[in-house]
Amino acid sequence: MGAQLTAYVMSENAREQAGFYAQALGGEILSTMTFGQMPGTPEEMGDKVMHLAMTVAGGNMLFFSDFPPGGYTRSISLTLTYDDESEARDAFAALSDGGEVKYPLALQPWGAYYGEVQDKFGVSWQIVKHTASNE
């Protein structure tokens, strides 16, 4: 039995964060539904994102929602594995914009390129590019 894992990111500003990832990772926002589209939503939540679906980095799905009243805490690390070193470096650089490099993207002793960055929204990204000897 198989399953597909899709990350669901709770955000302080889902539209801005999804737009950043669309640009940084070559993605596309597919659909957006607001809380205001649901009956009984408090006025202050009307334009907030209830569900946003997008693709990034070659078709991977990501879902987003703005924090509902009461909020959430967040601790997540996402990993993108690339076949192409240039694409891995581009993604690492783009995600670093306004964020913090935790571990520079470099060839590691285990034979893969690896780097970690925390983007400007507080999400940790691990960027990996396997080499021919460890695929």
Contact indicator for 106, 35 with CB cutoff of 8 Å: no
What does pTM read for this prediction?
Answer: 0.78
Which of 26-35, 68-77, 123-132 is predicted with the least confidence, judged by mean pLDDT?
68-77
| Residue 113 predicted with pLDDT over 90 | yes
What is the per-residue pLDDT for 50?
A: 86
Band (pLDDT 50/70/90 cuts) for residue 71 is low
> What confidence tier does 3 reach under pLDDT thresholds 50, 70, 90?
very low
DSSP characters over 49-102: EEEEEEEETTTEEEEEEEPPTT------EEEEEES-HHHHHHHHHHHHTTSEEE
pLDDT at residue number 102: 94
pLDDT at 69 over 80: no
Give the residues across from 117 on adjacent strands. 101, 125
Domains (ranges, CATH) in the chain?
7-66 (3.30.720.100), 77-134 (3.10.180.10)
pLDDT at residue 17, rounded to an integer: 95
